[in-house]
Structure formats: C-alpha cells, structure tokens
Amino acid sequence: MKAVILSGGFGTRLRPLTINTPKSMVPVLNIPFLEYFIKRLKSHKVSDIALAVSYLAEPIKDYFGDGSRFDVKLSYTVEETPLGTAGAVKNAGGFIDGPTLVFNGDIFTDLDLTAMMENHNQNKAMLTIALTPVEDPTSYGLVETDNRNRILRFLEKPNPDEITTNMINAGTYILEPEVISLIPSQTNCSFERDIFPLLLREKKDVFAYPADCYWIDIGKPENYFQLHYDLLNGKSNQYRFNNGKKKVVTGTHCIIHPSAQITGPAVIGNNCVIGEDVKINGSVVIGSNCQISNNSVVDDSILWNSVHVEPLARIKHTIIANNSHIGSGSTIEEAVLGNNAIIGYGQHVKAGRLVSPNTIVN
Ligand code: GDD
Ligand code: MG
C-alpha cells in the first residue's frame, strides 16, 4: 500500500521551534521526527511514500531526498499555500492508485499498520480511521462508533459539554480512491470538518480501528517533552536504550569531565564538552557540538545542536533550539528558546516564556 504523510502545517503551537524548523523535522533524541515515521512505514512494507509539504519544505527535501538512504521511494507534493488536510491529499491525487494510508505527520505511535490494513480489507471499508483513547478529547477529533466499529459521528475539537467518548481520531487513515474524488481541487478542505462528516451523512462504509498502544501528537511543547520522556523511559517499542542496560548514551568525540554527574536517562550527541561539576539530572537530551560549562545544572531538558551554556547556569524543563547561547549564572525554567537565542549573563528567564529566534535577552 502507498502512503501520504501530511507534513505541511504551520506548526503554530510548537513555535518558536517551528519558525525555522518544520514540525516534521524537529529532533527527537537527536533524530528528525519524520525519520522514525519513515522507518516504521518501511517495517510494515510500506515503501512508496508521498510527503505533502508546503510551509518550510526545503529542510525536509534536503534531509530525505528521494528516500534511497532509507530504502524507500519518496516523492513530494507541494502546496503553494496550505490546502488543509484533505486538500493536501487531493493535491497528491496523481500518486494515489488504490487504497492508501494517510498520516498526520506529527503523530508518534506504535499502531500496528499491518493489522490495520488487514482490517480495512476485511471490512471492505471506503475509509478506516485509527482511534486512540485520550483523557481530554477537546484538542482532537472525537469519534463515536457502534459496537461493530462503524463510525456514527465525527466531531472535530469538541467543546467540553459535547464529549460523549474518550476515543479520538489518531491521525492515521486508510482510504479508497473514491474518497479523493469527493475532495475539491486546489481548494482548502479539511478531512475532519468537511470530508469525514460528508461521508457519514452519505452513509458510506466508514470504520474505526481502535488501538490502545503508545500514541502521542507532538504538536505542543508539553507533548514534545512527553515523547522524549516516554522514549527515554521505554514506553514505546520504537526506541530502546541498548536493550535497557545503559542509562546514558553518548555520541563520538565527547569530552566529559570525570566530576560531571549525569543521572540519566540521557542522550548526548557528538563532539560535546561537559565541564567540571556539571549536573545533568533526569531525562535530558543534548544535541551535537554542545558545550555545558563548569558548575552548570541541566534538569529534564532538551537542547538541540550547538548550544553553548556558560558556567553556573541552571536550565530546567526547557527546550533550547540550535546555536543558542546561555550566559553564565542565568536561570531558565519551563521556557522554549528558538534558534540563535542569546540569554545574557545572570538573567532569569521566567516559566512559560517563549523566546523567538535571534532574540537577545539581557
Ligand atoms: N500538507 C499539508 N497541508 N499538511 C497539513 C495542512 C495543510 O494545509 N494542515 C495541516 N497539515 C498537517 C500538519 O502538519 C499535521 O501533521 C497534520 O496535518 C494534522 O494537523 P494539526 O494541525 O496537527 O491538527 P490537530 O493536531 O489539531 O488535529 C488533527 O490531529 C488529531 C490527532 O492528533 C485532527 O486530525 C484531529 O481530528 C486528530 O484527533
Ligand atoms: Mg497535530
């Protein structure tokens, strides 16, 4: 089966990280998010993949190219301006010649795609939507089914008083080409708000595939964090620390001072320098070419590449994007810093602050 991955949204809720980096390319344990996706498809023998891109397409194309490095065939369908989830798939219509998997490109899940494909065929469905349980469906698409998994109702972003189930659209679909013929060309169109309700009104064969496996949408900073914690703590079967034996994984050419304490679970990239009496506590990811200078403390945080932390800084539950610089003695808590942010000497960056790329805080 072929696959289309929707990778063209603005990633608004993940700003400032997604101002220069498309959501699909944000690093997860130092590997671009989309790489996990492509490897998972490959493991289910899905290797003909179209990426529906729009906003910030170049970094995706530069990294993945024609897919040969990952032993898959990748093509790109480009929207000049984003056409919405269904509009993007219509735009990829030339690629679709049979039942096709469609993915929201910001989901990390262990969903068994092979079983879902079998289930779609058995049901002779026109559309199958994977479902997952969540605590609060208000940020998602709520899906009501009957006891044979026929979908009765789809309600995108329900109000709290509209919640009738905890099962939501998990952002993975299998659709027959007939669904594509219902989507208008070159028009902004949403599966969730337009096409799914239309198919249900017309009583088409729309089935759910409920799955209770690891699932997360990385579209918000707290979820992006959560994915790291979950992977570092063995919650998904797509990543294992050396079979669970080693708590700190370090890349090549790192210089770590013997007095530095790293509790783990932590992943550290290549060419990093960790100074004297540095403390790295809890779940931490540090990219390549980073320097954490003497007596600094990093707790439960994610640092991308080439981040320079001067001495005596304290960083807690914070995401710091590429090439940022943290001045000595500064404290940063629960913040998100875009690329090339500069925090001066002795600053206090307050909880909840989002620092735009190329901003100087002093
Ligand atoms: N190519 C393209 N063009 N991709 C798009 C566009 C577009 O115009 N708009 C959104 N996307 C991509 C996003 O990049 C993302 O990968 C995916 O489509 C879903 O968009 P989000 O903006 O992340 O939607 P959401 O998280 O609020 O809700 C969706 O996902 C939930 C599951 O996480 C809906 O499908 C919900 O029903 C669902 O429950
Ligand atoms: Mg999303």
The pocket around ligand 1, CB under 6 angstroms, is made up of: 6-9, 23, 52-54, 79, 82-85, 88, 104-107, 140-141, 156, 168-169, 171, 192, 217, 219
Q: What is the CATH number of the domain that holds 284?
A: 2.160.10.10
Closest ligand 1 atom to Cα of 77: 1
Closest ligand 1 atom to Cα of 192: 37
Residue 106 Cα to ligand 2 middle (Å) = 6
Our measurement of the distance from residue 6's CA atom to the centroid of its chain's CA atoms, rounded to an integer in Å, reads 12
In whole angstroms, give the CA distance from residue 15 to residue 18: 5
**Pick from 208, 256, 216, 259: which is nearest to 235 by CA?**
216
User: 217 and 258, same structural domain?
Assistant: no
User: 122 and 7, same structural domain?
Assistant: yes
Final residue of a domain: which of 226, 258, 284? 226
Q: How many domains does the chain contain in total?
A: 2
pLDDT band at 237 (very low <50, low <70, confident <90, very high): confident
User: 258 and 166, same structural domain?
Assistant: no
Residue among 4, 5, 6 whose CB has most ligand 1 atoms within 8 A, to mutate: 6
Can you give the residue range of the structural domain that contains 157? 2-226
User: 273 and 193, same structural domain?
Assistant: no
Q: Is residue 35 assigned to a domain?
A: yes
Choose between 143 and 238: higher pLDDT.
143
User: 254 and 219, same structural domain?
Assistant: no
Choose between 245 and 132: higher pLDDT.
132
The rounded mean pLDDT for the chain is 95
Q: What is the CATH number of the domain that holds 154?
A: 3.90.550.10
Q: What proportion of the chain, given as a percentage, has pLDDT over 70?
A: 98
Residue 278 Cα to ligand 1 middle (Å) = 40
Q: In which residue are the tokens 């902004």 written?
A: 188
* Ligand with smallest separation from the Cα of 142: 1
Q: Is residue 121 assigned to a domain?
A: yes
In whole angstroms, give the CA distance from residue 75 to residue 320: 31
Q: Is residue 87 assigned to a domain?
A: yes
| pLDDT tens per residue, range 148-175 | 999 999 999 999 999 999 999 999 999 9
At residue 238, the pLDDT reads 83
Tokens representing 94 are 């030339």
Which residues neighbour 222 within 8 Å (Cβ) at sequence distance 6 or greater?
none
Residue 85 Cα to ligand 1 middle (Å) = 6
pLDDT band at 9 (very low <50, low <70, confident <90, very high): confident
At residue 81, the pLDDT reads 87
Average pLDDT over residues 242-248: 69
In whole angstroms, give the CA distance from residue 260 to residue 262: 7
User: 175 and 113, same structural domain?
Assistant: yes
**Pick from 4, 3, 70: which is nearest to 32 by CA?**
70
| pLDDT tens per residue, range 183-226 | 999 899 999 999 999 999 999 999 999 999 999 999 999 999 99
Residue 246 has pLDDT above 70, yes or no: no
**Number of Cβ within a 10 Å radius of residue 183:** 23
At residue 11, the pLDDT reads 84
Choose between 241 and 112: higher pLDDT.
112
Q: Which residues pair with 253 in a beta bridge?
A: none
Residue 242 has pLDDT above 70, yes or no: no
Q: Is residue 135 assigned to a domain?
A: yes
DSSP 8-class letter at 18? G
Final residue of a domain: which of 226, 260, 287? 226
Q: Is residue 6 assigned to a domain?
A: yes
